[in-house]
Amino acid sequence: MLYHIATYGCQMNEYDSGVLATMMESEGCVATDDPSAADFILVNTCSVRQKAEDTALARISKFKPFKRANPNLKIVLAGCMAKNHGESLIQKMPLIDYVIGPDHYRKIPDILFGNPVHASRKNSAARTMVEFDSLEMYKDASAKLASPFSTYVAIQRGCNKHCSYCIVPHVRGPEKYREEAGVLREVREAAERGVREITLLGQTVNAYRSGDTSFAKLLEQVSLVPGIERIRFTSPHPRHYTPELIDVLLGNPKVCAHAHIPLQSGSNVMLKKMRRQHQIDDFLRITEKLRGANPLYGLTTDIICGFVGETESDFEQTLEVVREVQFDSAFMFIYSPREGTESAREPETLSEEEKKERHRRLVDLQNEITLARNRMMIGNTECILVERPSTRNPEEWVGKTGNFKKVIFRPAGSVSPGAWANIHIDDIRGWTLRGTPAEE
Ligand code: SF4
């Protein structure tokens, strides 16, 4: 039996698709990249923006001929859309056999392989499982590896923050944490299979706590697992950067010198309206500590332009913080109200053109800063984790520095994915560093 998984959205969904793949393969199924050949298609969806939902539904509608050709084909809609819309998805698109929310994946083998009770479920309600389950943390899970040398491990799910523009708490539920033992078991298994780099995942990953084990302690534990050389994490919340955590980030050489810390806005008025639960000074205290100890510490961020009520002065404050922090790069979004969130209930105060104009100004500023930050790397010798041959030129290879910068180099001899290489940074081209093997 063949299965095909289509994944949309964030790293958490990529990890969950790895868990789904392991479940399908434990039932003897084999993965296929060709949905037309599959007996089971699982679509792991994202609800962060309307566009993400529309894209997934458009994709599912293309599976119609496959179902005509193979009436036994089963289509499962999983992920955040499942919780966001529930059984209405089956009514809207009868092509979909089951709607399974992120807390019910454990039931999928039972549903698809055989428990006749599930197979006999006729009405859409019976084929929909989306309620939050506060206990389900997939603690015994092992996600199919994302790559042979680098993989994700989910340690926390859900979110208690309720930022006014965000749909995540509505579709992923309250925060819950995976037991330390389960995390370390999955990390050990991955290391035994050759993984060298682990990325710990959570919607507010640094809020992690399991008994007495804080996120800082967990990082230390993971760094003691033999074979693990690099540790990354995403996505942290500024509120949970404790002094203990900062000490580990700066003191443990296996924890990469890079953090993605969402800023969203540089104005305290906007942060309050977004319900980000911190002020700009809290944010700057973190970045000053990290960059104070290591000027090349990689800092990336998320910023929303044109939020409801954002004045020119609020936006200027965002530009000011961007100039002050000097982020290595940033995801910069134009605010769009997300149905079901608090801020979507408020009428917008800026036109699309005004929002776009602010976005343009922010992108121009950040592009200048990214170039300047990359130029600071020239002359350094960096240890990079080699990922793959360059798509543009197969004689060149691509890898990442500890502070999360992409490097392209021409290897002296043979090289393979997952290898370490010391690269002298000679130049930058666009957003990419270029270098030569240090021995040369
Ligand atoms: S912290 Fe805020 S933005 Fe992040 S997932 Fe939670 S509610 Fe959403």
Q: Would the pLDDT of 280 be above 90?
A: yes
CATH number (3.40.50.720, 3.30.450.20, 1.20.120.1750, 2.40.50.140) of 381-437 reads: 2.40.50.140
Q: Which CATH number fits domain 2-129: 3.40.50.12160, 1.10.579.10, 1.10.730.10, 3.30.70.1520?
A: 3.40.50.12160
In the block, which residue shows the tokens 């006749």?
A: 116
Q: Which of 161, 162, 206 to mutate to test the pocket of ligand 1 (most atoms within 8 A of CB)?
A: 161
Range 150-375 classified under CATH 3.10.28.10: no
State percent of the chain over pLDDT 70: 98
The amino acid present at 29, given as its one-letter code, is: C
Query: How much of the chain exceeds pLDDT 90, in percent?
Result: 88
Measured over the CA atoms of residue 44, residue 50, residue 54 and residue 55, the dihedral's sign is negative
Please give the average per-residue pLDDT across 377-383, as a whole number: 97
CB-ligand 1 contact for 257 (6 Å cutoff): no
Surface-to-core class of residue 179, CB atoms within 10 Å of its CB (0-12 exposed, 13-18 middle, 19+ buried): middle
Closest residue (by CA) to atom 1 of ligand 1? 161
Structural domain spans, the chain: 2-129, 150-375, 381-437
Does residue 412 carry a pLDDT above 90? no
Q: Is the pLDDT of residue 118 over 60?
A: no
Whole-angstrom Cα distance, residue 181 to residue 196? Answer: 19
How many Å apart are CA 87 and CA 118, to the nearest integer?
A: 15
CA of 428 to the centre of ligand 1 (A): 34
Q: What is the arithmetic mean of pLDDT over 390-404?
A: 95
Same fold? 2-129, 150-375: no
pLDDT confidence of residue 301: 98
Q: For 122-168, write each residue's pLDDT tens digit.
A: 678 888 999 998 877 777 888 887 789 999 999 999 999 999 999 99
Cβ count near 78 (within 10 Å) = 26
Q: Residue of the nearest CA to atom 2 in ligand 1?
A: 163
Check pocket membership of 166 for ligand 1, CB cut-off 6 A. Answer: yes
Q: pLDDT (tens digit, 9 = 90+) per residue, 310-363?
A: 999 999 999 999 999 999 999 999 999 998 999 999 999 999 999 999 999 999
Structure-token pair, residue 199: 């990325």
pLDDT at 186 over 60: yes
pTM exceeds cut of 0.75 = yes
